[in-house]
């Protein structure tokens, strides 16, 4: 005997949803069921929090379909009011900061080429860029910069690009931590910032707890109070009067501060030995999110060769006068990027590292003359020749 469906009684007259991109589809389906007709639902959706996202899902996709396959909700309005509004002005981040965040997030000036890209090149205009040269079309070279209409004038009146965003690379971690502490002390004593104007973001969630303990200790040595959000303070409270907030990247989402320190930024580069680093797109997304927590100033620091590589990318943005110059990838190239830099399981990573070592051993044997090219099977030689003719993604 079939079970009777329970009737759901709506309980909301209207619903406002913020940070909708972080919520599962099931949440939206429940909201549709529990909201009275005519479904007064407003939601804010940041489709570019993941830089390789294509667009906002349709209302039909978000809120699901009923038993007969019809959309539960449709986008409509009984008046002339707009129902779908794209906010054209970014008030949260200075234009130079946002340009740097996009450059690093996509890997525009990365030595190994792009890490990821929008599915639609036209999205560059939608997020506030103008075309200075070239064309926004697949396979075409283009030069982009922030459209003057995409940010308020007060950024240029109150800030300079040199002060708004700075990068520092260090040879040792103790140098990095000392630099952060010294700069925060200057922020408090000379720059007239309060402790709750400052946020320290840790990109690597796996080491965040240990790193927060180290930071609290070093800051205390410089006479600065600090708290690890959710560990030494309430989970619901990001900022505390008289104390500098330290948090990992996922708790930082949805929060901003006047001054942001992003430490251990080499996390977004990985070991240079493995040029096609797995999960690189996710790590670049983390760096993008961390940098865009800054409402005025951001200081990005890290240690070692990887941080030097990231610093070189930043310096290239500055030398290009905060323009992004690159080739729009084709659909095939975007597919390749998604495959190359996707997140992989530990087993996949282990097999990949072993395969790279095997290839490296073979190449070293060829270089030493232990193996001659003529000794290779014909099929292997043809495959090597074919691979050698493949264009580089950065070209």
Query: What's residue 371's pLDDT?
Result: 79
| pLDDT, mean of residues 338-347 | 64
Confidence grade of residue 349 (pLDDT, cut at 50, 70, 90): low
Which architecture does CATH list for 95-335?
3-Layer(aba) Sandwich (3.40)
When comparing pLDDT for 126 and 294, which is higher? 294
Comparing 42-46, 54-58, 94-98, 263-267, which segment has the lowest mean pLDDT? Answer: 54-58
| pLDDT, mean of residues 27-56 | 77
Confidence grade of residue 394 (pLDDT, cut at 50, 70, 90): very low
Query: What's residue 71's pLDDT?
Result: 79
3-state secondary structure the chain: CCCCCCCCCCCEEEEEECCHHHCCHHHHHHHHHHEEEEEEEEECCCCCCCCCCCCCCCHHHHHCECCCCCECCCCCCCCCCCCCCCCCCCCCCCHHHHHHHHHHHHCCCCCCCCCCCCCCCCHHHHCCEEEEEECCCCCCEEEEEECHHHCCCHHHHHCCHHHHEEEEEECCHHHHHHHHHHHHHHHHHCCCCCHHHEEEEECCCCCHHHHHHHHHHHHHHCCCCEEECCCCCCCCCCCECCEEEEEEHHHHCCCCEEEEEECCHHHHCCCCCCCCCCCHHHHHHHHHHHHCCEEEEEEEEEEHHHHHHHHHHHHHHHHCCCCEEEECCCHHHHHHHHHHCCCCCHHHHHHHHHHHHHHHHHHHHHHHCCCCHHHCCHHHHHHHHHHHCCCCCCC
| pLDDT, mean of residues 131-145 | 96
Confidence grade of residue 75 (pLDDT, cut at 50, 70, 90): low
Query: What's residue 173's pLDDT?
Result: 96
Confidence grade of residue 393 (pLDDT, cut at 50, 70, 90): very low
Over residues 202-254, the pLDDT tens digits come to 999 888 999 999 999 999 999 999 999 988 777 778 888 999 999 988 887 77
When comparing pLDDT for 61 and 173, which is higher? 173
**What is the reported pTM?**
0.78
When comparing pLDDT for 53 and 134, which is higher? 134
Question: Is 272 a residue whose pLDDT tops 50?
Answer: no
| pLDDT, mean of residues 63-79 | 71
Query: What's residue 251's pLDDT?
Result: 80
Mean pLDDT over each residue of the chain, to the nearest integer: 85
Report the percent of the chain where pLDDT is more than 70: 85
| pLDDT, mean of residues 50-78 | 70
Query: What's residue 329's pLDDT?
Result: 95
Confidence grade of residue 179 (pLDDT, cut at 50, 70, 90): very high
Query: What's residue 347's pLDDT?
Result: 57
Question: Is 277 a residue whose pLDDT tops 50?
Answer: no
| pLDDT, mean of residues 153-181 | 96
Report the percent of the chain where pLDDT is more than 90: 51
When comparing pLDDT for 395 and 41, which is higher? 41
Query: What's residue 365's pLDDT?
Result: 76
Query: What's residue 350's pLDDT?
Result: 57
What are the residue ranges spanned by the domains of the chain? 12-63, 95-335
Over residues 97-128, the pLDDT tens digits come to 999 999 999 999 999 899 999 988 998 998 89
Query: What's residue 101's pLDDT?
Result: 97
| pLDDT, mean of residues 161-179 | 97
Query: What's residue 49's pLDDT?
Result: 60
């Amino acid at each position: 005997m079939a079970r009777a469906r329970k009737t759901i009684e709506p309980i909301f007259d209207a619903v406002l949803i913020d940070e909708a991109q972080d919520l599962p589809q099931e949440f939206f389906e429940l909201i549709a069921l529990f909201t009275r007709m005519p479904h007064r639902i407003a939601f804010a959706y940041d489709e570019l929090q993941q830089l390789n996202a294509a667009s906002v899902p349709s209302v039909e996709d978000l809120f699901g379909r009923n038993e007969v396959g019809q959309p539960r909700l449709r986008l409509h309005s009984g008046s002339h009011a707009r129902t779908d509004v794209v906010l054209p002005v970014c008030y949260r981040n200075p234009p130079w900061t946002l340009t740097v965040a996009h450059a690093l997030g996509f890997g525009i000036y990365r030595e190994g080429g792009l890490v990821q890209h929008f599915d639609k090149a036209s999205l560059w205009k939608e997020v506030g860029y103008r075309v200075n040269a070239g064309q926004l079309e697949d396979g075409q070279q283009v030069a982009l910069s922030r459209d003057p209409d995409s940010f308020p004038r007060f950024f240029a009146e109150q800030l300079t690009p040199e002060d708004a965003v700075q990068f520092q690379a260090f040879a040792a971690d103790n140098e990095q931590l000392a630099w952060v502490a010294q700069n925060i002390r200057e922020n408090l004593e000379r720059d007239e910032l309060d402790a709750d104007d400052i946020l320290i973001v840790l990109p690597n969630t796996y080491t965040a707890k240990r790193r927060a303990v180290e930071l609290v200790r070093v800051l205390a040595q410089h006479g600065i109070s600090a708290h690890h959000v959710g560990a030494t303070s309430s989970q619901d409270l990001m900022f505390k009067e008289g104390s500098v907030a330290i948090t990992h990247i996922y708790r930082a989402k949805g929060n901003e501060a006047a001054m942001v320190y992003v430490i251990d930024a080499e996390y977004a580069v990985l070991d240079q030995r493995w040029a096609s680093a797995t999960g690189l797109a996710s790590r670049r997304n983390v760096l993008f999110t961390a940098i865009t927590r800054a409402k005025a100033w951001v200081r990005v620091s890290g240690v070692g060769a990887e941080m030097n590589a990231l610093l070189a990318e930043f310096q290239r943005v500055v030398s290009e006068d905060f323009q992004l110059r690159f080739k729009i990838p084709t659909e095939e190239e975007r597919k390749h990027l998604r495959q190359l830099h996707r997140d992989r399981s530990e087993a996949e990573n282990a097999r990949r590292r072993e395969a790279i070592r095997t290839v490296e051993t073979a190449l070293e044997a060829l270089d030493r003359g232990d193996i001659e090219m003529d000794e290779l099977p014909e099929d292997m030689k043809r495959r090597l020749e074919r691979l050698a003719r493949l264009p580089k993604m950065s070209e």
